[in-house]
């Protein structure tokens, strides 16, 4: 089993990702696709007059402040446009894909965090009304049913809180939790960069290999949201996933290239 997470940043070639996945699926490989949608969510949120607000925690992690209205816009884009766009691509390629959010069947579950600490102008503020959380539990029953029926699951945040409230969760870490729960052979984190860069944005500074035991030491090279990918990779390898690869989804055959060792391989 391979878990593929494709991001939501500008430049990602979803046609290329879907064509590669469809070819591998038809060859008998078992795959699950998890996707993001942050770039499109930002665009739609601006257009709807509710621009995105990002907060940076005291420990340096950036996340989207998700009030109710943001959550609704987030769902429109992630569960609507992005999810159905990917499912349609796969259906056109002859793959019977099913798109679900983590709320559906409570596939992704975690604690609802209502407040977040944000560093603004050097001061720490507490913002309330946040709909975020972290995936702590993956309920694989529905996924097992789909796979057994020959369907390719296409999953996206949000997740469900333990009380059934929709929560915005990081897609990379959700994919990592899924890979651990399914005892996947590999987790691919595909984005619009060649992999983890030692000197971002210099693409010639690609880090090719990271020993699994050392992955957290590489957090220092990741800025902003790349940190969540490194954290997700650490969680996956600590949970028993043998290989995590940060790969390029901008062109070519992104899944096959990553599985062939291109990008940053954590093992
Ligand atoms: P996605 O939505 O595609 O999953 P993110 O935007 O969450 O991707 O994270 C990938 C982004 O992280 C890259 O587009 C890049 O701007 C940024 N980044 C920060 N530091 C690094 C780094 N050291 N190497 C590669 N990318 C980095």
Which of 193, 194, 221, 245 has most ligand 1 atoms within 8 Å of its beta carbon, as the pocket-test mutant? 193
Token pair of 172, please?
Answer: 């990379």
Mean pLDDT of 11-30: 98
Confidence label for 61 from pLDDT (cuts 50, 70 and 90): confident
- Is the distance from CB of 255 to CB of 4 less than 8 angstroms? yes
pLDDT band at 62 (very low <50, low <70, confident <90, very high): confident
What average pLDDT does this structure show over 221-237?
A: 94
CATH code for the structural domain at 2-53+66-111+133-266 = 3.40.1160.10
Mean pLDDT, range 219-236, rounded to an integer: 94
CA pseudo-torsion sign 35, 8, 131, 42: negative
Is the pLDDT reported for residue 224 higher than 90? no
Q: Ligand 1 pocket, 9 CB below 6 A?
A: yes
Instruction: Give the atom of ligand 1 at the shortest distance from the alpha carbon of 8.
Output: 2
Q: Indicate if the pLDDT at residue 63 is higher than 90.
A: no
Taking only the tens place, the pLDDT of each residue in 120-166 is 999 999 999 999 999 999 999 999 999 999 999 999 999 999 999 99
CA distance 97 to 86: 9
Token pair for residue 26? 């038809």
Answer whether 3 contacts ligand 1 (Cβ < 6 A). no
**Res. 24: pLDDT tops 90:** yes
pLDDT per residue over 74-98, tens digit each? 999 999 999 999 999 999 999 999 9
Share of the chain above pLDDT 70, in %: 100
How would you class 166 by CB atoms within 10 Å of its CB: exposed for 0-12, middle for 13-18, buried for 19 or more?
buried
- pLDDT-derived band at 60, boundaries 50, 70, 90: confident
Q: How do the domains of the chain map onto residue ranges? A: 2-53+66-111+133-266
Q: Give bridge partners of residue 126 from the DSSP assignment.
A: 117
User: Ligand 1: does its nearest atom lie under 6 Å from the Cβ of 108?
Assistant: no
- Residue 111, preceding peptide bond in cis (omega within 30° of 0): no
């Amino acid at each position: 089993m391979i878990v593929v997470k494709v991001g939501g940043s500008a430049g990602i070639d979803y046609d290329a990702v879907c064509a590669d996945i469809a070819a591998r699926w038809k060859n008998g490989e078992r795959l699950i696709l998890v996707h993001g949608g942050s770039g499109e969510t930002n665009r739609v949120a601006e257009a709807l007059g509710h621009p995105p607000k990002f907060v940076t925690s005291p420990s340096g992690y950036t996340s989207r402040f998700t009030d109710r209205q943001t959550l609704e816009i987030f769902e429109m884009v992630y569960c609507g446009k992005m999810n159905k766009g990917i499912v349609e691509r796969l259906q056109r390629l002859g793959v019977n894909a099913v798109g679900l959010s983590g709320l559906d069947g409570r596939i992704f579950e975690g604690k609802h965090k209502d407040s977040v600490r944000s560093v603004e102008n050097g001061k720490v503020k507490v913002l309330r009304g946040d709909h975020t959380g972290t995936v702590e539990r993956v309920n694989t029953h529905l996924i097992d049913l789909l796979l057994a029926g020959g369907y390719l699951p296409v999953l996206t945040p949000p997740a469900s809180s333990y009380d059934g409230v929709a929560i915005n969760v990081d897609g990379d870490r959700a994919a990592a939790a899924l890979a651990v729960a399914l005892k996947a052979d590999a987790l691919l984190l595909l984005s619009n960069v060649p992999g983890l860069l030692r000197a971002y944005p210099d693409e010639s500074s690609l880090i090719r290999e990271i020993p699994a035991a050392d992955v957290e030491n590489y957090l220092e090279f990741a800025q902003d949201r790349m940190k969540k990918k490194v954290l997700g990779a650490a969680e996956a390898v600590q949970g028993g996933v043998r290989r995590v690869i940060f790969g390029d989804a901008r062109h070519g055959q992104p899944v096959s290239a990553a599985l062939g060792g291109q990008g940053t391989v954590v093992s």
